[in-house]
Amino acid sequence: MSIDSLDSGPGDSGSGEWPIARDVDARDLRCPLPLLRAKQALRDLASGEALRVRATDVGSVRDFQSFAELSGHRLLHQSEEAGVYTHILVKS
| pLDDT at 48 exceeding the cut of 90 | yes
Q: Which fold has domain 20-90?
A: Translation Initiation Factor IF3 (3.30.110)
Residues 6+ apart with CB under 8 A from 68: 1, 74, 75, 89
Listed residue (29, 15, 14) closest to 38, CA to CA: 29
Q: 70 pLDDT exceeds 80?
A: yes
Alpha carbons within 13 A on the beta-carbon side of 82: 2
* Catalytic residue list: 31
Element (H, E) at 66: helix 59-71
What is the per-residue pLDDT for 18? 76
Closest of 4, 17, 61 to residue 35, by C-alpha: 61
Whole-number pLDDT of residue 90: 97
pLDDT of amino acid 16: 56
DSSP 49: -
d(CA 40, CA 28): 18
Mean pLDDT, rounded, of the chain? 87
- Interval 57-67 mean pLDDT: 97
